[in-house]
Amino acid sequence: MDNRSLRRKSLSIPELIAQNWPRLLSGLGMTVEITIISLVFAAIIGLVFGLLSVAPQKALRAIALVYVDIVRGTPLLVQAFFIYFGIPMALGIRLDQNLAGVITLSLNAGAYLAEIFRGGIESINSGQMEAARSLGLTYGLSMRKVILPQAIRTMTPALINQCIITLKDTSLLSVIGVVELTQTGKLIIANNYESFKMWLIVGVMYFIVIMILSKISKQIERKMSYGKNKN
Amino acid sequence: MGKIKIKNLKKTFGELEVLKDINLEIKEKEVVCIIGPSGSGKSTLLRCINALEEATSGTVEVDGNDITGAHEKINLFRQNIGMVFQQFNLFPHMTVLDNICLAPTALKIKSKDEANAIAMGLLKRVGLQEKAEVYPGQLSGGQQQRVAIARALAMNPDVMLFDEPTSALDPEMVGEVLNVMKQLANEGMTMVVVTHEMGFAREVADRVIFIDEGYIVEQGPPQEIFANPQNQRTINFLNMVL
């Protein structure tokens, strides 16, 4: 009797927020945590495969191409299912859903970052590499000191964009049971049936975090610009 | 004793034969200007001397070191061969000073302080010491090219290669770059210069080489080549550019 009347009573948005704030915050925390950890691994994967994809050796380029094609050619959801359900079943192991989520997002974002790195590196005039090599620098040193610092500057907008995409992609991990913000929203709605207001709240929370990220990125972009080359 | 020895050098890009059979010996302290129509292979020849282009066949030796078969040793050999490019190719994300210090410090040949001191000395030589902390994008083309020369000199090379160093410059800036190059020639640097500046070739070169269609067509002291060219193709070319 008491329960039913409680459910029927529609709560206002501020009330819903107040009531569910700790859970929402912990969901958001998980979203941010998974995003950051995945992006760190993705950055390493992306750099390695990005460098492979511009390597002078054909075999190395082929490896990068295959990886990028596989990731780009399959949906993230299928990748998550494959890593969380498929691989553990084949190997007879259990995989923690958060770990599976991080692996999925790292591999996924890694492929896209590899493409961003490739594009960034290829956008740098070949004269830069030639100038560095003509001074006696090795290929690796030329990359590190001359090409990558410039490439990363031109890549910044695309990198930030990929961060935002990865942050949003964490919501898909709700299907393998990762209790991030979207899953938290689902669980709360399962209790209070406030679908409209809760999804609005969850949406606004994503929006605010992403807006903050965009603003920071604009700042970084501005700071990183240097005297533009006249030629 | 030949500083640079090129034997039977051939270079093809796919079907295109750019260098057909180049034989050339350049002595220490000699200043050689390479002239010829565009597409004649003169830049490719220059780029084969420090293996920016890999020779298809034949050999290039600099100081007795085989450049063509050098593999990873090429990095060591290149330290001794400075190169200046048509488009300057300064590193836009570094200050002028850092551009010059990069190679000596990254290769751990000089400490940061030593490299800075050398760089400031070089900037003084090219008349740009007040630009040390400026980024390349804030310099004029002539200034950028002078910095590029200083950068190449920072490795203290024995040989300097110039690939049309003034072709991308506004006319009023050509002189300042050529003056630095003249000074370098007078100091006894071995220089190979691909150029369209016939005045410079006439005044500074010990030898002028005319290349056309992948062959050395004619060579000799500038006064002979310019005053009394023998080959018809040289005559035609000089008639067009002089």
For chain A, what are the domain ranges? 11-230
Name the residue with tokens 């129509």.
Answer: B37
Q: Does A231 touch chain B (CB under 8 A)?
A: yes
Q: Is the pLDDT score of B130 beyond 90?
A: yes
- pLDDT, average across residues A174-203: 95
Give the whole-number percent of chain A exceeding pLDDT 90.
85
In this complex, the residue of B89, B103, B135 whose CB is nearest that of residue A130 is B89
CATH topology assigned to domain A11-230? MetI-like fold (1.10.3720)
- Asked if B208 and B230 touch (Cβ cutoff 8 Å), the reply is no
Query: Out of A4-13, A88-97, B12-21, which region has the weakest mean confidence (pLDDT)?
Result: A4-13
CB–CB contact B152 A134 (8 Å): yes
| A171 pLDDT higher than 70 | yes
Q: What is the pLDDT of residue B72?
A: 86
pLDDT tens-place string over residues A121-153: 999 999 999 999 999 999 999 999 999 999 998
Report pTM. 0.88
Q: Which pLDDT score, from 0 to 100, does residue A173 have?
A: 96
Best to test chain B binding among A124, A130, A134, A144 (most B CBs inside 10 Å) = A134
The two structure tokens encoding residue A154: 């031109």
Kindly report, residue by residue over A24-50, the tens digit of the pLDDT: 999 999 999 999 999 999 999 999 999
From chain B, pick out residues whose CB is under 8 angstroms from the CB of A227.
92, 134-138
**pLDDT for position A1:** 46
The ipTM of this complex is 0.94
A145 and B141: CB-CB below 8 Å? no
Average pLDDT over residues A58-83: 97
Q: Which residues of A touch B134 (CB under 8 A)?
A: 227
Q: Strand (E) positions, B38-165?
A: 57-62, 65-66, 81-84, 159-163
Given this model, what pLDDT does residue A229 score? 40
CA B21 vs. chain centroid, Å, equals 21
Mean confidence (pLDDT) of chain A: 92
Give the closest of A135, A137, A228 to B137, CB-based: A228
Of B17 and A223, the one with more pLDDT: B17
Nearest to B44 by CA among B167, B161, B187, B179: B161
A21: Cβ–Cβ under 8 A, 6 or more apart, which residues?
none
Instruction: Measure B235 CA to nearest chain A CA, in Å.
Output: 34
For every residue of A62-126, DSSP letters joined together read HHHHHHHHHHHTS-HHHHHHIIIIIHHHHHT----HHHHHHHHHHHHHHHHHHHHHHHHHHTS-H
Which residue is listed with tokens 């050529």? Answer: B178
User: What's the pLDDT at A8?
Assistant: 56
Averaged pLDDT of chain B: 95
Cα distances from A117 to residues A110, A112, B226, in angstroms, run 10, 9, 51
Partner residue opposite A130 with nearest CB, options B52, B79, B151: B52
Q: What is the mean pLDDT of residues B182-198?
A: 96
A226·B52 Cβ contact <8 A: no
* Phi, psi (degrees; rounded to nearest 5) at B86: -60, -45
Task: Name the minimum distance, in Å, from the CA of A226 to any CA of chain B.
Answer: 7
Which position has the token pair 């024995």?
B158
A146 at B interface, C-beta within 8 A:
yes
Cα–Cα distance for residue pair A163/A183, rounded to 1 Å: 20
Residue A56 identity: P
pLDDT category at B225 given cuts 50, 70, 90 is: very high
Instruction: Kindly indicate the confidence band of residue A226, based on its pLDDT and cuts at 50, 70 and 90.
Output: low
Residue A227 has pLDDT above 60, yes or no: no
Per-residue pLDDT, A54: 96
Q: Do B92 and A227 touch (CB under 8 A)?
A: yes
Predicted confidence band of residue A162 (pLDDT cuts 50, 70, 90): very high
Asked whether the predicted pLDDT for residue A213 surpasses 60, the reply is: yes
Tell me the DSSP string of chain A: -HHHHHHHSPPPHHHHHHHHHHHHHHHHHHHHHHHHHHHHHHHHHHHHHHHHHT-SSHHHHHHHHHHHHHHHTS-HHHHHHIIIIIHHHHHT----HHHHHHHHHHHHHHHHHHHHHHHHHHTS-HHHHHHHHHTT--HHHHIIIIIHHHHHHHHHHHHHHHHHHHHHHGGGGGGGT--SHHHHHHHHHHHH--HHHHHHHHHHHHHHHHHHHHHHHHHHHHHH-------
Q: For B155, which residue in chain A has the nearest alpha carbon? A: A135
B96, closest residue in chain A (CA to CA):
A227
Give the separation between CA B62 and CA A181, rounded to whole angstroms.
Answer: 65
Average pLDDT over residues A159-182: 95
Contact B87 A134 (CB under 8 A): no
User: Do the chains contact at A135 and B79, CB–CB below 8 Å?
Assistant: yes
pLDDT of residue B29: 96
B137-158 burial string, b = 16+ CB within 10 Å, else e? ebbebbbbbbbbbbbbbbbebb
Q: Shortest CB distance from A137 goes to which of B87, B103, B139?
A: B103
Among candidates B78, B137, B139 on the partner chain, residue whose Cβ is nearest the Cβ of A133 = B78
**CB pair distance less than 8 Å for B92 and A130:** no
A105 and chain B in contact, CB less than 8 A? no
B27-81 pLDDT, tens per residue? 999 999 999 999 899 999 999 999 999 999 999 999 999 999 888 899 999 999 9
- The per-residue pLDDT for A4 is 54
Q: Minimum mean pLDDT among A2-16, A190-204, B145-159, B174-188: which range?
A: A2-16
